[in-house]
Structure 1
Amino acid sequence: MKRALYILVVGLLLIGSACTKSENDPVLDQEFLEVVTEIATNVTENSATLNAKVLTVGDKKIETVGFYYWVQGNLGTRKKADGVYNESTNTITSTVEELHSYTDYAFAVFAENAEVKEEGDVLSLKTLVAPGVTLPTVQTGELDYRDYEKATLTGKVISTGKSAQTEFSFYVWERGTVNKEKAVKAEVDQAGKAVGVVKGLKPGVDYKYTVVGINELGVAAGDTLMFTSNSMVYVDADATGNNDGSSWKDAFTSLKTATESVKPGVQFWIAEGMYNEFWIPMKKGFDYYGGFNGTEETMDERDPDTYKTKIGGTEFDGRYPSGVKARVFDGRYKHRLEKSIIDGVTIQHGNAWNGGAAFVHGGSPEFRNCTFRGNHGMWASSIWIRDGQAIFKACVFEDNYSLNGGGVGVIHELTDGTTFDECIFRNNEVNANSQWGKGGTLLHDKGVSIFRNCIWENNKAPRGNSIYIENTTSCPVFLGDKNVIDPDEIYFTPTGSLNGGTYGACPL
C-alpha cells in the first residue's frame, strides 16, 4: 500500500512539473507567420507584377516583405525586389522591370517580423516576346587563320532578330566527339562580320565549327564547316632519328622531302643549318619558320638572329652561272604560294630564268624577317611576282644579280600591289651591258607597290638604280618617315602618263 501511494505522489509531481511554464518558453502562436506565393499578373516582354497572400500574421508586426526572382534554372541570377504589404487585404505585390523577353523566371515571396522570416513556394512566369523579335540569321564563314594551337573563325550576321538580347558565339568541337563543344564569344563589327579566336587546339586534329546566334526565341546556327589544326613538322639537317618530322629527334633532314611527305595545314619548324635544296613546292597551307636550335617546344623560344636557317645553294662561280637552273621556292601554277608564311630564313644562291629565290603566281605569301642573298636570274634575281599580292616585312635583299632587270623582283600584271615594310635593299645589280637593264631592286610592270620605312643602298642598273616603272600610270606609294632613297634611283618610262622617263615625277 505504501509503495503504491509513493508511486502516485511521484507521478503527480512529474505531471505538475511538466505543466509549469518556464519564463523562457515561447508564447503559442506569437511568432507564427505564413505567406503563400500567387500567380504573377500584368506580364509583358520586360516586366511583371508579382503577387502573394499573407495567411497568418501572428502577434508580431510584419516589418519587411518582398520577392526573390531569377532566371529559371540559374540561381546565380537571383535578385531581390521590395514588396508592398496591404494590411486590409493581407496581400503583397511588387512590380519588377528590366526582365528579358520571352524568358522563364522563377519567383517566391518572403515576409519577416522581429522574430522570423518566412518564404512562400516557388512559382514561375514567362515574359512575352518583344514586338518584331525573330530568331537571328547567321552564316558560317571560312577560316581566317590557323596554326597548331589556335584558329580565327569567321561568320556573317545577316539579322540580329531585332532583339537586344541576341548574343553570337562559335561552337567548336573535335570531329567524332559528342557534347564536347567549346563556346567562343564572337565579336561582331558594324558590317556584320563575326570573328572569334579559339585557343587550346591539338596539333593535326580535325575540328568542326559553326556560328550561332542566341536570343529569347532560341538558337540559330549556320552551316557546320571543318578545318584541321596545323601540325608542327620538324626539319633538322643534323637529325638522326626516324626522319618522319614528328619531333626534333625524328625530324626530316630535307625540307623538300618534308613538303612532299605531309598534307597541307602544317608549320615547318626548321632548325639552323644549311639546306642545299631547290624547287621546294609552295603548297597552300604550308608555313615555314626558321631560326630554331632544335630543342624548342614553343614558337616564342626560337631566335632567328642567332640560329641561322639557310635554304638554297652554295655560292655560284662568277656573275653568269651556266647550266644551273635551281629556283629555291616554286610557287607556280599548282604550287601557288596562296597565304603561306615564310619567316626567319635566308634564301640564297637560287638561279632561274625568272625569280631565282621564289616565283609567286596568283598567291599572297608573306615573307617575314627573311634575307634574300646572292640570287640570280635572267629577269628578277630573287622574286618574280605574277598576278599576286606578296608582303615583305623586315626583309633584307642584298647582293642579288639579274642579267636584264629587277635585281630584287619583277611585278608583272599585278592588280593590287606588293607591300615592303621596313625592308633593306643593298648592293643589288642589273647587268650594265644589257639592252633591257632596268631596276636595280624592282622592275615595276603594272600595279602599285607600297614601301613603308625602307632603305636603299648602293643598287645599280643602267636605268632606275632602285625602281624602274613601266606600263602603269601610278607611282609607288612611300609611307612612314624612314624611306632612304636617292631620287636618281626611280625611273618612269616615257609611255607612262607622267612622261619623259624622269624620276622627279614620283614624290618620296
Structure 2
Amino acid sequence: MAIACLPLHARTIHVKEGGSGNGISWATATNLQYALSIAKAGDEIWVASGVHTPTTGTDRYATFQLVEGVSLFGGFTGIESSLDDRNISSNPTILSGEIGAKNQVSDNVYTVVTAKNVSSQTIVDGFIITGGNADAIGRVGEAATSGAAWYNESASPTIRNCAFRGNLANWGAAMFNFAGTQKCSPSILNCQFTQNKAHMDGGAIYNDGQDGQCTPQIRDCSFEGNIASYGGSVYNTVNNGTTRPLFLNCIFINNSSMVSGGATGATYDIRKGRGACSSILNGCRIEENIAALQTDNGTTAGQPSTHAQANSTASTGSFTIRGNK
C-alpha cells in the first residue's frame, strides 16, 4: 500500500503585520519572514490583513522566499479557526515592496516574492502583491531586473486569487517565469494583473523557456492597464527550449505595447534560437489594447491580438477581439 510522504505534524503558523511571537496562535502571531524561515513541507501559513514587507530595513534584495510544500493563505482578520472562515475581499492582505522612504519607488525591493525549485504543492492564495521595482542595471532574467512582484526560477507553484498591481521592472513587471534548464510551469488561477509596467518587455508576465520548458497555465485571469515596450501584457521567448503558455478564459483589456506588437495586449512570441515558442488562448476576450507601431511581421496594430515572430507561432482557440488599436 502506497503511503504519501507527508510531515507527521503539519502546523498552522499565524502571521500578523508587525508580529513578533512564535506563530502558534493568533495571540502569538509572528511576521511572514520568520514564518517562512521555520516552515516545513505540509505547513500552512495564515496571514492576517495588513501590509507585509520583506524587510523593515532598506535592503532592496530582500524578498519573500517560498518554501517547497508550504501553503500561504491571506484574507484573515486574525481570529479565525478555519480556513473557510477567511474573507479575501473584506480583509486585503498585501505583500508590498514599499520599503525605505514612504512613497519613494526608487528604493523599493527588487522582487517581492521569489520561488525557486518548488512544485505545485507550494500554494499562495489570497494576496495583493504590489510595489516591487526591479530596475537594476543588468541582463534580462536577473532577479533584480526582472519579475518585480514575483520571480519564478525552475518553479511551478500554484497561485490563486491574487492581485498583481502597480509593479515596475525592466522585464516582466508582475511576474518573470524562467525555466533555467529545467521546468517552470506555475498554475495561475483567478488572478488580476493591473497597471504593471515593464520598461522593456512583458508589462505583466515574461515567459522564458531557455534550455528548458516554460509552460505556465493561466486560467480565469484578467490583464488590464499593463504597459511595456513589447508585449503589453505577456512576452514569450525561447532559445533552445520550449515556451508555451496556456490562457483559458482570460481577459486582456486596455494594455499598451509602446513600440510594437499591436495587439500584443494579449501575447508577443519570439524565438531567438532553436526551440518552440507559442501561446495558446482559449475562450479569451481581447479588447481595447493599444500598440504604438506596426508589428514586426507586418500585422497592423489592432489586427489579431497576438504576435508571432521568427518561426514562432500563436495558437488560438475561440476568443473575442474588439476595439484594439
Q: How high is the TM-score relative to the length of structure 1?
A: 0.49
Corresponding position of 1:163: none
The answer as to 2:74 corresponding to 1:272 is: no
The answer as to 2:226 corresponding to 1:428 is: yes
Gaps of 5+ in 1: 1-137, 144-224, 431-436
Deviation at 1:331, TM superposition (A): 1.9
Cα separation, 2, equivalents of 1:474 and 1:409: 15
Q: Paired residue for 1:287, among 71, 76, 80? A: 71
Corresponding position of 2:127: 345
Deviation at 1:261, TM superposition (A): 3.1
Amino acid at match of 1:484: I
The answer as to 2:60 corresponding to 1:263 is: no
Deviation at 1:282, TM superposition (A): 1.0
Deviation at 1:323, TM superposition (A): 5.2
Corresponding position of 1:484: 286
The answer as to 2:25 corresponding to 1:247 is: yes
Amino acid at match of 1:396: Q
Cα separation, 2, equivalents of 1:289 and 1:454: 23
Amino acid at match of 2:119: E
Cα separation, 2, equivalents of 1:406 and 1:226: 38
Cα separation, 2, equivalents of 1:365 and 1:346: 17
Answer yes or no: is the 8 Å Cα contact 1:316–1:349 preserved in 2.
no
Cα separation, 1, equivalents of 2:218 and 2:45: 24
Give deviations 1:69-103, integer Å, cap 9, x for gaps. xxxxxxxxxxxxxxxxxxxxxxxxxxxxxxxxxxx
Answer yes or no: is the 8 Å Cα contact 2:215–2:245 preserved in 1.
yes
Answer yes or no: is the 8 Å Cα contact 1:428–1:441 preserved in 2.
yes
Partner SS state of residue 173, structure 2: coil
The alpha-carbon distance between structure 1 residues 309 and 262, as it changes in their structure 2 partners (threshold 3 A), is same
Amino acid at match of 1:269: W
Answer yes or no: is the 8 Å Cα contact 1:475–1:506 preserved in 2.
no
Answer yes or no: is the 8 Å Cα contact 1:371–1:395 preserved in 2.
yes
Corresponding position of 1:419: 217
Give deviations 1:330-382, integer Å, cap 9, x for gaps. 224xxx33331100000101122110111111121011000001111111111
Amino acid at match of 1:272: S
What does 1:131-150 correspond to in 2, within 5 Å? 140=2, 143=4
Give deviations 1:112-165, integer Å, cap 9, x for gaps. xxxxxxxxxxxxxxxxxxxxxxxxxx6x36x3xxxxxxxxxxxxxxxxxxxxxx
Q: Paired residue for 1:374, among 155, 161, 166? A: 166
Give deviations 1:197-229, integer Å, cap 9, x for gaps. xxxxxxxxxxxxxxxxxxxxxxxxxxxx66334
Cα separation, 2, equivalents of 1:315 and 1:399: 20
Cα separation, 1, equivalents of 2:67 and 2:52: 19
The alpha-carbon distance between structure 1 residues 474 and 290, as it changes in their structure 2 partners (threshold 3 A), is same
The alpha-carbon distance between structure 1 residues 497 and 295, as it changes in their structure 2 partners (threshold 3 A), is closer
Higher Rg of the two aligned structures:
1
Corresponding position of 1:302: 86
Answer yes or no: is the 8 Å Cα contact 2:222–2:252 preserved in 1.
yes
Answer yes or no: is the 8 Å Cα contact 2:170–2:200 preserved in 1.
yes
Higher relative contact order (CA 8 A, sep 6+): 2
The alpha-carbon distance between structure 1 residues 484 and 351, as it changes in their structure 2 partners (threshold 3 A), is same
Answer yes or no: is the 8 Å Cα contact 1:401–1:429 preserved in 2.
yes
Cα separation, 2, equivalents of 1:304 and 1:384: 25
Deviation at 1:322, TM superposition (A): 3.9
What does 1:97-112 correspond to in 2, within 5 Å? none
Cα separation, 2, equivalents of 1:228 and 1:379: 41
Q: Paired residue for 1:468, among 268, 272, 278? A: 268
What does 1:102-501 correspond to in 2, within 5 Å? 140=2, 143=4, 227-237=7-17, 243-252=21-30, 254-277=31-54, 278-314=62-98, 321-322=105-106, 324-332=108-116, 336-339=117-120, 340-352=122-134, 353-387=145-179, 388-413=184-209, 415=213, 417-430=215-228, 437-446=229-238, 447-461=243-257, 462-464=259-261, 465-466=264-265, 467-471=267-271, 473=276, 475-480=278-283, 482-485=284-287, 487-493=303-309, 495-496=310-311
Deviation at 1:238, TM superposition (A): 5.7
Deviation at 1:326, TM superposition (A): 2.7
Corresponding position of 2:293: none
- Matched pairs, number: 267
Deviation at 1:389, TM superposition (A): 0.3
Give deviations 1:229-286, integer Å, cap 9, x for gaps. 43110001165xx61100001000x211221233343111000111122411111122
CA RMSD of aligned residues (A): 2.6
Deviation at 1:415, TM superposition (A): 2.1
Corresponding position of 2:299: none
Cα separation, 2, equivalents of 1:440 and 1:323: 25
Answer yes or no: is the 8 Å Cα contact 1:345–1:370 preserved in 2.
yes
Cα separation, 1, equivalents of 2:43 and 2:153: 21
Partner SS state of residue 326, structure 1: coil
Gaps of 5+ in 2: 55-61, 135-144, 290-302, 320-325
